Amino acid sequence: MGGSAGGVGALDVILSALSRDFALPVLAVQHLHPSDDGSFARHMADAARLPVVEACDKERIERGCLYTAPANYHMLVERDGTISLSVDEPVNWSRPSIDVLFDSAALAWGEGVVAVILSGANADGVEGMRSVKAAGGFTIAQDPADAESRVMPQAAIDAGVVDEVLSAKEIGQLLAEFGAIEKL
Amino acid sequence: MGTMGEAEVEPTETDLLLEAVFQRYGYDYRSYARASIERRTRQFLSATGYASVSEMIPEVLHDKELLARLTRYFSIPVTEMFRDPSVYRVVREEVVPLLRTWPHFKIWHAGCATGEEVYSLAIVLKEEGVYDRATIYATDCSDEALERAREGVYEVGKMKEATQKYQQAGGKASFSEYYHACCDAAAMDGSLKERITFANHNLAVDEAFGEMHLVFCRNVLIYFNRELQNRALGLFTESLVHGGFLCLGTKEDIRFTDVSNRYEAVDRRARIYKKNGAS
Protein backbone atom coordinates (compact mmCIF):
# COMPACT_ATOMS: atom_id res chain seq x y z
CA MET A 1 0.00 0.00 0.00
CA GLY A 2 1.18 3.48 -0.72
CA GLY A 3 0.00 6.84 0.53
CA SER A 4 1.07 10.44 0.68
CA ALA A 5 -0.89 13.47 1.93
CA GLY A 6 -3.95 12.08 3.73
CA GLY A 7 -2.64 8.54 3.39
CA VAL A 8 -2.27 7.90 7.11
CA GLY A 9 -5.97 8.49 7.75
CA ALA A 10 -6.87 6.03 4.97
CA LEU A 11 -4.41 3.46 6.34
CA ASP A 12 -5.98 3.78 9.79
CA VAL A 13 -9.41 2.94 8.35
CA ILE A 14 -8.13 0.02 6.25
CA LEU A 15 -6.07 -1.53 9.02
CA SER A 16 -8.95 -1.37 11.49
CA ALA A 17 -10.60 -4.04 9.30
CA LEU A 18 -7.65 -6.45 9.56
CA SER A 19 -7.57 -8.74 12.57
CA ARG A 20 -4.52 -10.08 14.38
CA ASP A 21 -4.67 -13.36 12.48
CA PHE A 22 -4.66 -11.73 9.02
CA ALA A 23 -3.01 -14.29 6.74
CA LEU A 24 -1.04 -11.98 4.42
CA PRO A 25 1.91 -9.67 4.92
CA VAL A 26 1.27 -5.94 4.43
CA LEU A 27 3.93 -3.47 3.30
CA ALA A 28 3.23 0.24 3.51
CA VAL A 29 5.04 3.22 2.05
CA GLN A 30 3.90 6.56 3.36
CA HIS A 31 5.70 9.70 2.20
CA LEU A 32 7.44 11.13 5.26
CA HIS A 33 9.74 13.95 6.11
CA PRO A 34 13.32 12.61 5.78
CA SER A 35 13.98 13.29 9.45
CA ASP A 36 10.95 11.30 10.70
CA ASP A 37 12.35 9.10 13.43
CA GLY A 38 9.82 6.29 13.34
CA SER A 39 6.75 8.28 14.38
CA PHE A 40 4.78 6.86 11.43
CA ALA A 41 5.56 3.28 12.52
CA ARG A 42 4.62 4.13 16.12
CA HIS A 43 1.36 5.67 14.96
CA MET A 44 0.56 2.54 12.94
CA ALA A 45 1.44 0.32 15.89
CA ASP A 46 -1.19 2.17 17.92
CA ALA A 47 -3.79 2.14 15.15
CA ALA A 48 -3.41 -1.40 13.75
CA ARG A 49 -4.18 -4.72 15.38
CA LEU A 50 -1.43 -6.33 13.29
CA PRO A 51 2.09 -6.26 14.70
CA VAL A 52 3.95 -3.34 13.09
CA VAL A 53 7.60 -3.41 12.14
CA GLU A 54 9.58 -0.49 10.78
CA ALA A 55 11.58 -2.45 8.25
CA CYS A 56 15.28 -3.06 8.64
CA ASP A 57 17.43 -4.29 5.78
CA LYS A 58 17.15 -8.09 5.23
CA GLU A 59 14.10 -8.30 7.47
CA ARG A 60 12.18 -11.53 6.83
CA ILE A 61 8.61 -10.88 5.70
CA GLU A 62 6.07 -12.74 7.87
CA ARG A 63 2.35 -13.17 7.28
CA GLY A 64 0.11 -11.04 9.45
CA CYS A 65 2.68 -8.31 9.98
CA LEU A 66 2.65 -4.73 8.74
CA TYR A 67 6.02 -3.45 7.51
CA THR A 68 6.51 0.29 7.16
CA ALA A 69 9.27 1.88 5.10
CA PRO A 70 11.61 4.00 7.24
CA ALA A 71 11.99 7.67 6.33
CA ASN A 72 14.74 8.40 3.80
CA TYR A 73 15.01 4.78 2.54
CA HIS A 74 13.36 2.99 -0.35
CA MET A 75 11.83 -0.35 0.63
CA LEU A 76 12.08 -3.24 -1.85
CA VAL A 77 10.93 -6.84 -1.82
CA GLU A 78 13.34 -9.67 -2.63
CA ARG A 79 12.32 -13.03 -4.14
CA ASP A 80 13.59 -14.85 -1.05
CA GLY A 81 10.88 -13.17 1.04
CA THR A 82 13.09 -10.54 2.68
CA ILE A 83 13.11 -6.76 2.54
CA SER A 84 15.95 -4.75 1.06
CA LEU A 85 16.40 -1.06 1.75
CA SER A 86 18.20 1.39 -0.50
CA VAL A 87 19.32 5.00 -0.36
CA ASP A 88 19.11 5.46 -4.14
CA GLU A 89 18.00 8.86 -5.37
CA PRO A 90 14.40 9.83 -4.58
CA VAL A 91 11.82 8.75 -7.17
CA ASN A 92 9.00 11.28 -7.83
CA TRP A 93 10.80 13.44 -5.23
CA SER A 94 10.04 10.71 -2.72
CA ARG A 95 12.18 8.40 -0.62
CA PRO A 96 10.57 6.03 0.21
CA SER A 97 8.82 5.84 -3.13
CA ILE A 98 5.67 3.83 -3.78
CA ASP A 99 6.83 3.04 -7.33
CA VAL A 100 10.00 1.42 -6.00
CA LEU A 101 8.07 -0.84 -3.61
CA PHE A 102 5.40 -1.82 -6.14
CA ASP A 103 7.91 -2.45 -8.99
CA SER A 104 9.98 -4.73 -6.79
CA ALA A 105 6.91 -6.58 -5.48
CA ALA A 106 5.68 -7.13 -9.04
CA LEU A 107 9.06 -8.62 -9.98
CA ALA A 108 9.32 -10.79 -6.88
CA TRP A 109 5.75 -11.99 -6.44
CA GLY A 110 4.00 -11.36 -9.77
CA GLU A 111 0.31 -12.23 -9.64
CA GLY A 112 0.39 -12.66 -5.87
CA VAL A 113 0.50 -8.89 -5.33
CA VAL A 114 -2.39 -6.62 -4.36
CA ALA A 115 -1.33 -2.98 -4.81
CA VAL A 116 -3.34 -0.24 -3.14
CA ILE A 117 -2.86 3.44 -3.90
CA LEU A 118 -4.22 5.88 -1.35
CA SER A 119 -4.74 9.59 -0.84
CA GLY A 120 -1.87 11.80 -1.98
CA ALA A 121 -0.91 14.95 -3.82
CA ASN A 122 1.57 13.66 -6.40
CA ALA A 123 1.75 10.87 -8.96
CA ASP A 124 4.06 8.43 -7.17
CA GLY A 125 2.75 4.88 -7.44
CA VAL A 126 1.30 5.07 -10.95
CA GLU A 127 4.24 3.30 -12.61
CA GLY A 128 4.34 0.76 -9.81
CA MET A 129 0.63 0.01 -10.27
CA ARG A 130 1.35 -0.47 -13.97
CA SER A 131 4.09 -3.01 -13.15
CA VAL A 132 1.85 -4.90 -10.72
CA LYS A 133 -0.99 -5.09 -13.25
CA ALA A 134 1.36 -6.17 -16.05
CA ALA A 135 2.69 -8.96 -13.82
CA GLY A 136 -0.85 -10.25 -13.24
CA GLY A 137 -1.40 -8.69 -9.79
CA PHE A 138 -4.49 -6.87 -8.56
CA THR A 139 -4.64 -3.07 -8.27
CA ILE A 140 -6.92 -0.92 -6.13
CA ALA A 141 -7.21 2.86 -5.90
CA GLN A 142 -8.89 4.69 -3.08
CA ASP A 143 -11.97 6.46 -4.42
CA PRO A 144 -10.81 10.07 -5.06
CA ALA A 145 -14.09 11.27 -3.51
CA ASP A 146 -13.14 9.38 -0.32
CA ALA A 147 -9.53 10.61 -0.32
CA GLU A 148 -8.31 13.64 1.57
CA SER A 149 -6.13 14.45 -1.43
CA ARG A 150 -7.44 13.04 -4.70
CA VAL A 151 -4.47 13.60 -7.04
CA MET A 152 -2.61 10.33 -6.51
CA PRO A 153 -5.48 7.84 -6.83
CA GLN A 154 -6.91 9.88 -9.72
CA ALA A 155 -3.55 9.75 -11.55
CA ALA A 156 -3.58 5.96 -11.31
CA ILE A 157 -7.19 5.76 -12.50
CA ASP A 158 -6.45 8.10 -15.43
CA ALA A 159 -3.47 5.96 -16.39
CA GLY A 160 -5.77 2.98 -16.74
CA VAL A 161 -3.86 0.81 -14.29
CA VAL A 162 -6.59 0.31 -11.66
CA ASP A 163 -8.81 -2.78 -11.31
CA GLU A 164 -11.08 -1.49 -8.51
CA VAL A 165 -11.94 1.94 -7.12
CA LEU A 166 -13.09 1.68 -3.50
CA SER A 167 -13.42 3.72 -0.33
CA ALA A 168 -10.90 3.10 2.44
CA LYS A 169 -13.53 1.20 4.39
CA GLU A 170 -14.31 -1.05 1.41
CA ILE A 171 -10.60 -1.64 0.78
CA GLY A 172 -10.28 -2.86 4.37
CA GLN A 173 -13.21 -5.25 3.92
CA LEU A 174 -11.86 -6.59 0.62
CA LEU A 175 -8.36 -7.17 2.04
CA ALA A 176 -9.92 -8.96 5.02
CA GLU A 177 -11.70 -11.25 2.54
CA PHE A 178 -8.45 -11.88 0.63
CA GLY A 179 -6.92 -12.82 3.97
CA ALA A 180 -9.75 -15.23 4.71
CA ILE A 181 -9.38 -16.89 1.28
CA GLU A 182 -5.64 -17.23 1.82
CA LYS A 183 -6.33 -19.21 4.98
CA LEU A 184 -8.46 -21.86 3.22
CA MET B 1 14.45 -30.74 -15.80
CA GLY B 2 11.28 -28.66 -16.06
CA THR B 3 10.98 -25.55 -18.14
CA MET B 4 10.38 -22.14 -16.62
CA GLY B 5 7.38 -19.84 -16.78
CA GLU B 6 7.50 -16.31 -18.19
CA ALA B 7 7.71 -14.85 -14.69
CA GLU B 8 11.01 -16.60 -14.07
CA VAL B 9 12.66 -15.35 -17.25
CA GLU B 10 13.69 -11.95 -15.92
CA PRO B 11 15.62 -13.24 -12.90
CA THR B 12 17.34 -15.74 -15.18
CA GLU B 13 18.26 -12.96 -17.59
CA THR B 14 19.72 -10.97 -14.71
CA ASP B 15 21.73 -14.01 -13.60
CA LEU B 16 23.10 -14.37 -17.13
CA LEU B 17 23.97 -10.69 -17.37
CA LEU B 18 25.81 -10.62 -14.04
CA GLU B 19 27.60 -13.85 -14.90
CA ALA B 20 28.60 -12.44 -18.31
CA VAL B 21 29.94 -9.25 -16.73
CA PHE B 22 31.90 -11.28 -14.19
CA GLN B 23 33.30 -13.83 -16.66
CA ARG B 24 34.27 -11.26 -19.26
CA TYR B 25 35.47 -8.35 -17.13
CA GLY B 26 35.90 -9.68 -13.58
CA TYR B 27 33.45 -7.21 -12.03
CA ASP B 28 31.37 -9.19 -9.58
CA TYR B 29 27.84 -7.94 -8.94
CA ARG B 30 26.43 -11.42 -8.40
CA SER B 31 26.27 -10.96 -4.63
CA TYR B 32 24.57 -7.59 -4.70
CA ALA B 33 21.00 -7.24 -3.35
CA ARG B 34 18.99 -8.36 -6.32
CA ALA B 35 15.99 -6.01 -6.17
CA SER B 36 18.16 -2.90 -6.51
CA ILE B 37 20.28 -4.44 -9.27
CA GLU B 38 17.14 -5.29 -11.22
CA ARG B 39 15.75 -1.81 -10.75
CA ARG B 40 18.96 -0.29 -12.04
CA THR B 41 19.14 -2.75 -14.92
CA ARG B 42 15.63 -1.69 -15.97
CA GLN B 43 16.64 1.96 -15.75
CA PHE B 44 19.64 1.17 -17.93
CA LEU B 45 17.43 -0.61 -20.46
CA SER B 46 15.09 2.35 -20.77
CA ALA B 47 18.04 4.76 -21.02
CA THR B 48 19.74 2.74 -23.77
CA GLY B 49 16.69 1.50 -25.64
CA TYR B 50 17.36 -2.24 -25.43
CA ALA B 51 14.11 -4.22 -25.38
CA SER B 52 15.37 -6.87 -22.96
CA VAL B 53 18.32 -7.90 -20.84
CA SER B 54 18.96 -10.82 -23.23
CA GLU B 55 19.29 -8.41 -26.14
CA MET B 56 21.86 -6.39 -24.24
CA ILE B 57 24.08 -9.26 -23.04
CA PRO B 58 25.96 -9.93 -26.32
CA GLU B 59 26.56 -6.18 -26.75
CA VAL B 60 27.94 -5.84 -23.23
CA LEU B 61 30.26 -8.77 -23.86
CA HIS B 62 31.87 -7.00 -26.82
CA ASP B 63 31.53 -3.32 -25.99
CA LYS B 64 33.70 -2.02 -23.14
CA GLU B 65 32.15 1.40 -23.40
CA LEU B 66 28.68 -0.05 -22.82
CA LEU B 67 30.00 -2.09 -19.90
CA ALA B 68 31.40 1.07 -18.34
CA ARG B 69 28.01 2.75 -18.65
CA LEU B 70 26.27 -0.27 -17.11
CA THR B 71 28.60 -0.52 -14.13
CA ARG B 72 28.10 3.18 -13.54
CA TYR B 73 24.40 2.39 -13.08
CA PHE B 74 25.27 -0.46 -10.72
CA SER B 75 27.46 1.67 -8.49
CA ILE B 76 25.71 5.03 -8.30
CA PRO B 77 27.17 6.57 -5.16
CA VAL B 78 24.55 8.09 -2.89
CA THR B 79 25.74 9.90 0.21
CA GLU B 80 25.52 13.26 1.92
CA MET B 81 27.24 15.31 4.61
CA PHE B 82 26.25 14.37 8.17
CA ARG B 83 23.58 11.94 6.96
CA ASP B 84 21.64 11.03 10.15
CA PRO B 85 23.00 13.84 12.35
CA SER B 86 22.11 11.99 15.56
CA VAL B 87 24.63 9.28 14.65
CA TYR B 88 27.44 11.84 14.52
CA ARG B 89 26.29 13.15 17.86
CA VAL B 90 26.65 9.68 19.35
CA VAL B 91 30.08 9.31 17.73
CA ARG B 92 31.07 12.61 19.33
CA GLU B 93 29.65 11.81 22.76
CA GLU B 94 30.11 8.05 23.13
CA VAL B 95 32.87 6.94 20.76
CA VAL B 96 35.37 9.80 20.75
CA PRO B 97 35.90 9.67 24.56
CA LEU B 98 37.05 6.07 24.17
CA LEU B 99 39.13 6.72 21.05
CA ARG B 100 40.84 9.38 23.15
CA THR B 101 42.21 6.68 25.48
CA TRP B 102 44.44 5.39 22.65
CA PRO B 103 47.56 7.49 21.89
CA HIS B 104 46.98 6.87 18.23
CA PHE B 105 43.97 5.32 16.54
CA LYS B 106 42.98 4.08 13.10
CA ILE B 107 39.64 4.41 11.36
CA TRP B 108 38.49 2.47 8.32
CA HIS B 109 35.68 4.16 6.42
CA ALA B 110 34.57 1.36 4.11
CA GLY B 111 32.51 2.33 1.08
CA CYS B 112 33.16 6.06 1.39
CA ALA B 113 31.71 6.77 -2.10
CA THR B 114 32.26 10.44 -2.96
CA GLY B 115 33.54 11.22 0.52
CA GLU B 116 30.90 13.44 2.14
CA GLU B 117 30.68 11.30 5.26
CA VAL B 118 34.42 10.90 5.70
CA TYR B 119 34.76 14.69 5.77
CA SER B 120 31.86 14.82 8.25
CA LEU B 121 33.72 12.40 10.50
CA ALA B 122 36.97 14.38 10.12
CA ILE B 123 35.14 17.53 11.26
CA VAL B 124 33.85 15.80 14.40
CA LEU B 125 37.35 14.52 15.24
CA LYS B 126 38.84 17.97 14.67
CA GLU B 127 36.33 19.69 16.92
CA GLU B 128 36.97 17.11 19.63
CA GLY B 129 40.72 17.76 19.36
CA VAL B 130 41.68 14.19 18.41
CA TYR B 131 42.06 14.52 14.64
CA ASP B 132 45.87 14.64 14.80
CA ARG B 133 45.95 11.27 16.53
CA ALA B 134 43.84 9.61 13.84
CA THR B 135 44.72 7.81 10.65
CA ILE B 136 41.69 7.43 8.43
CA TYR B 137 41.56 4.93 5.58
CA ALA B 138 38.69 5.81 3.28
CA THR B 139 38.05 3.06 0.77
CA ASP B 140 35.68 2.35 -2.08
CA CYS B 141 35.60 -0.07 -5.00
CA SER B 142 35.01 2.71 -7.53
CA ASP B 143 38.06 4.71 -8.67
CA GLU B 144 35.72 7.33 -10.08
CA ALA B 145 34.04 7.86 -6.70
CA LEU B 146 37.43 7.87 -4.92
CA GLU B 147 38.73 10.55 -7.26
CA ARG B 148 35.78 12.77 -6.37
CA ALA B 149 36.22 12.00 -2.68
CA ARG B 150 39.90 12.94 -2.90
CA GLU B 151 39.02 16.23 -4.59
CA GLY B 152 36.38 16.98 -1.96
CA VAL B 153 34.53 19.47 -4.14
CA TYR B 154 30.74 19.49 -3.88
CA GLU B 155 27.83 21.54 -5.16
CA VAL B 156 27.58 24.74 -3.20
CA GLY B 157 23.78 24.32 -3.19
CA LYS B 158 24.16 21.30 -0.92
CA MET B 159 25.95 23.27 1.78
CA LYS B 160 22.76 24.74 3.24
CA GLU B 161 21.37 21.34 4.16
CA ALA B 162 24.83 20.23 5.26
CA THR B 163 25.03 23.22 7.60
CA GLN B 164 21.71 22.34 9.22
CA LYS B 165 22.75 18.74 9.69
CA TYR B 166 26.14 19.77 11.03
CA GLN B 167 24.36 21.83 13.67
CA GLN B 168 21.97 18.99 14.53
CA ALA B 169 25.02 16.75 14.86
CA GLY B 170 26.33 18.98 17.64
CA GLY B 171 28.71 21.08 15.54
CA LYS B 172 30.70 23.54 17.63
CA ALA B 173 31.82 26.07 15.05
CA SER B 174 30.42 27.56 11.88
CA PHE B 175 30.19 25.00 9.08
CA SER B 176 31.43 27.57 6.56
CA GLU B 177 34.86 27.33 8.20
CA TYR B 178 35.28 23.90 6.66
CA TYR B 179 34.84 24.73 3.00
CA HIS B 180 35.73 27.39 0.47
CA ALA B 181 32.96 28.41 -1.89
CA CYS B 182 33.90 29.40 -5.41
CA CYS B 183 31.19 29.93 -8.05
CA ASP B 184 28.87 26.96 -7.69
CA ALA B 185 31.42 24.71 -6.02
CA ALA B 186 32.38 24.17 -2.38
CA ALA B 187 35.86 22.77 -1.78
CA MET B 188 36.47 21.08 1.55
CA ASP B 189 39.31 22.59 3.55
CA GLY B 190 42.69 20.98 2.96
CA SER B 191 43.33 20.54 6.68
CA LEU B 192 40.51 17.96 6.79
CA LYS B 193 42.41 15.77 4.32
CA GLU B 194 45.74 15.59 6.18
CA ARG B 195 45.00 12.35 8.01
CA ILE B 196 42.86 10.69 5.31
CA THR B 197 44.27 8.07 2.93
CA PHE B 198 41.97 7.22 0.04
CA ALA B 199 42.41 3.74 -1.45
CA ASN B 200 40.60 1.26 -3.64
CA HIS B 201 39.23 -1.70 -1.70
CA ASN B 202 36.50 -4.07 -2.80
CA LEU B 203 34.58 -5.69 0.05
CA ALA B 204 33.60 -8.52 -2.28
CA VAL B 205 37.15 -9.72 -3.05
CA ASP B 206 39.80 -7.91 -1.00
CA GLU B 207 41.14 -8.84 2.44
CA ALA B 208 40.94 -7.24 5.85
CA PHE B 209 43.50 -4.70 6.90
CA GLY B 210 44.40 -4.48 10.42
CA GLU B 211 44.29 -2.95 13.84
CA MET B 212 41.36 -0.62 13.33
CA HIS B 213 39.76 1.17 16.27
CA LEU B 214 36.65 2.23 14.40
CA VAL B 215 35.09 0.81 11.26
CA PHE B 216 32.55 3.12 9.69
CA CYS B 217 30.41 1.54 6.98
CA ARG B 218 26.99 3.08 6.53
CA ASN B 219 24.37 2.19 3.92
CA VAL B 220 26.80 0.06 1.97
CA LEU B 221 25.77 -3.36 3.24
CA ILE B 222 22.13 -2.78 2.22
CA TYR B 223 23.29 -3.17 -1.39
CA PHE B 224 24.75 -6.62 -0.68
CA ASN B 225 23.01 -9.95 -0.32
CA ARG B 226 23.28 -11.78 2.97
CA GLU B 227 26.33 -13.79 1.93
CA LEU B 228 28.33 -10.75 0.89
CA GLN B 229 27.14 -8.85 3.98
CA ASN B 230 28.56 -11.60 6.11
CA ARG B 231 31.84 -11.52 4.19
CA ALA B 232 32.17 -7.76 4.70
CA LEU B 233 31.24 -7.96 8.38
CA GLY B 234 33.79 -10.77 8.76
CA LEU B 235 36.47 -8.45 7.37
CA PHE B 236 35.46 -5.69 9.77
CA THR B 237 35.50 -8.06 12.74
CA GLU B 238 38.92 -9.35 11.74
CA SER B 239 40.23 -5.80 11.33
CA LEU B 240 38.96 -4.36 14.60
CA VAL B 241 41.00 -4.40 17.79
CA HIS B 242 39.36 -5.73 20.92
CA GLY B 243 36.99 -3.03 22.11
CA GLY B 244 36.97 -1.38 18.68
CA PHE B 245 33.81 0.21 17.29
CA LEU B 246 31.63 -0.65 14.34
CA CYS B 247 29.20 1.92 12.98
CA LEU B 248 26.59 0.77 10.45
CA GLY B 249 23.64 2.46 8.71
CA THR B 250 20.65 3.14 10.94
CA LYS B 251 18.55 0.44 9.24
CA GLU B 252 21.30 -2.16 8.97
CA ASP B 253 20.76 -4.65 11.70
CA ILE B 254 23.54 -6.84 13.00
CA ARG B 255 20.88 -9.23 14.41
CA PHE B 256 20.42 -10.75 10.96
CA THR B 257 24.11 -11.55 10.45
CA ASP B 258 26.78 -14.12 11.34
CA VAL B 259 28.71 -11.76 13.63
CA SER B 260 25.84 -10.72 15.92
CA ASN B 261 27.45 -12.43 18.95
CA ARG B 262 30.78 -10.64 18.44
CA TYR B 263 29.45 -7.22 19.36
CA GLU B 264 27.58 -5.42 22.07
CA ALA B 265 25.52 -2.33 21.32
CA VAL B 266 26.89 1.05 22.35
CA ASP B 267 23.87 2.81 20.91
CA ARG B 268 21.27 0.61 19.27
CA ARG B 269 19.45 3.38 17.40
CA ALA B 270 22.65 4.78 15.94
CA ARG B 271 23.79 1.20 15.15
CA ILE B 272 27.10 1.69 16.91
CA TYR B 273 28.59 -1.50 18.31
CA LYS B 274 31.66 -2.47 20.27
CA LYS B 275 33.59 -5.64 19.49
CA ASN B 276 33.67 -8.00 22.46
CA GLY B 277 36.11 -10.76 23.38
CA ALA B 278 33.97 -13.82 22.57
CA SER B 279 34.57 -15.73 19.37
ipTM of the complex: 0.88
B44-96: pLDDT as tens digits: 999 999 999 999 999 999 999 999 999 888 887 788 999 999 999 999 999 99
| Domains of chain A in sequence order | 2-177 (3.40.50.180)
| Spatial CA neighbour of B67 closest among B13, B114, B9, B20 | B20
Run of H or E residues at B149: helix B143-151
B255-274 residues touching A, CB cutoff 8 A = 256
A147-168: pLDDT as tens digits: 999 999 999 999 999 999 999 9
Residues of B in contact with A108 (CB under 8 A): 35
Q: How many residues does chain B have?
A: 279
pTM comes to: 0.92
Question: Within chain B, which residue ranges are assigned CATH 3.40.50.150?
Answer: 85-275
Please judge whether B78 and A89 are an interchain contact, meaning their C-beta atoms are less than 8 angstroms apart: yes
Share of chain B above pLDDT 70, in %: 96
The span from the CA of A10 to the CA of A15, in Å, is 9
Q: Are A31 and A90 in contact (CB under 8 A)?
A: no
The CATH number given to B85-275 is 3.40.50.150
Run of H or E residues at B136: strand B134-140
First to last CA, chain A: 24
Q: Which of A99, A124, A143, A146 does the annotation list as catalytic? A: A124
The shortest C-alpha distance from A169 to chain B (Å) reads 32
Query: With 0-12 CB in 10 A as exposed, 13-18 as middle and 19+ as buried, what is A145?
Result: exposed
